[in-house]
Amino acid sequence: MSDTFYTHLPILTELSQIVKPSNFHPAPADWWVALSDVRNSTQAINAGHYKAVNMAGAASIVALLNCAPADSIPFVFGGDGATLLIPPDLLEVARATLAGVRAMVQREMQLDLRVGFVPLAEVRAHGVEVGVARLRISPHYDQALLSGGGTALAERLIKDPTTALRYLLPADAPLREADMTGLECRWQDIPSPHGETVSLLVMAVPGMPPDAASAIYRQVITEIEAAYGQEQDYHPLAVPNLHLSFKLQDLLGETKFRTPPRMIARWIYMAQIWGLNLGVRLYTMGEVLRGKRPWWQDYREQVFRTADYKKYDDTLRMIIAGRPEQRQQLSAFLEHAYQQGQLVYGLHVTDRALMTCLVFERMGRQVHFVDGADGGYSRAAIELKDRLKRFTPHQ
């Protein structure tokens, strides 16, 4: 079956391996590119609803993972949406499931989720590719990497008013109730270990030959390390900073997605989460007083190891913790490279990160999507798109 393609890909161990085009393998010709994103996400973020925007993006992923064989669907979380590759045998299920997610996001969050599907054959007809690689983040999570320009083209086709109707999921598309099992949002915002949390997007200029683009990304990664050090130095999370939330507002998003729209069911579910969080805290305090290592410490380390905070889908996306002078050093390089016509970029600065989590096994299969607070990737994308509009090739 075509859904074994991703399962059988070789495993990469470092994000820096994106600079080698041979590490990417063409997706099967009969697959589809599916994209979701929140329309007018900037307005929602400005109104303080950035957690709801993140939940809507993650919902697209968890709903499809819950109706497909494990590890059969490559995906990339983008903050306000997601990119997924769909094998043909799952296409109709995926369409109905994302129609259900769209309806749920509208009903529960009053957000408009755009959903579109583009056949890979049509992407290739435009002269671009969707190459896929598989990066091992932990024994419990392999992250998809996408290259070749195909997903960026699919996004343009879905958003361009002259082509959108051909690819957008119709408003009256058949839908199935989306299974949100595993979608969680129970953490407090995570303060930066070093003062700043930077949401960074970098894209080699469109149309650049693959080898030249690879050289650009290699240089960007080198400059990030020159400014911030190694991964352990700029990781946006620190285990001591991971704390469960007791704010009902923080728990409301998960509650809305995981329960029927009945008040009593939602109060019961939220009370259960709140009580569980309290139980974990009391248990941990008791174990510490007895001089024992609590299970909770092991779980927080598991969360740290399965954090999704750096990725690549024709755009390098990273959440980085550091100091202002480190950001300024990196920004100076990026701006120079932009002025030279080599890349476009966007970044957003805050003092904390947030996590939206998919937890299928408490000490096993899970992934924790990290974004910058107050808009993170979405606000960085605004900067990147603005630079792209103003971009003129360097002569």
pLDDT tens by residue, 199-240: 999 999 988 888 899 999 999 999 999 999 999 999 999 999
What pLDDT does 48 receive?
87
What pLDDT does 192 receive?
97
Averaged pLDDT, 48-55: 90
pLDDT tens figures, 180-204: 999 998 999 999 999 999 999 999 9
Q: Are the CB atoms for 31 and 120 separated by under 8 Å?
A: yes
Tokens linked to 277: 């969080």
Task: Examine the pLDDT at 140 and tell me if it is beyond 90.
Answer: no
Q: Which residue has the tokens 């590490």?
A: 23
Supply the pTM of this predicted model: 0.93
Averaged pLDDT, 361-378: 92
Q: Are the CB atoms for 81 and 57 separated by under 8 Å?
A: yes
Q: Which residue stretches of 206-262 are H helix?
A: 210-228, 231-234, 248-258
Beta strand 307-308 with 366-372: parallel, antiparallel or unpaired? parallel
Counting beta carbons within 10 angstroms of the beta carbon of residue 340, is it exposed (0 to 12), middle (13 to 18) or buried (19 or more)?
exposed
Q: Are the CB atoms for 201 and 134 separated by under 8 Å?
A: no
What pLDDT does 208 receive?
85
Q: For residue 317, give the H/E element and its range.
A: strand 316-322
Task: Examine the pLDDT at 146 and tell me if it is beyond 80.
Answer: yes
Beta strand 32-38 with 11-12: parallel, antiparallel or unpaired? unpaired
What pLDDT does 209 receive?
86
Q: Are the CB atoms for 321 and 309 separated by under 8 Å?
A: no
Could you count the other beta carbons within 10 Å of the beta carbon of residue 139?
10
**Eight-class DSSP state of 168:** B
Q: pLDDT class for 71, splitting at 50, 70, 90?
A: confident
Q: pLDDT class for 395, splitting at 50, 70, 90?
A: very low
Averaged pLDDT, 87-115: 96
What pLDDT does 288 receive?
87
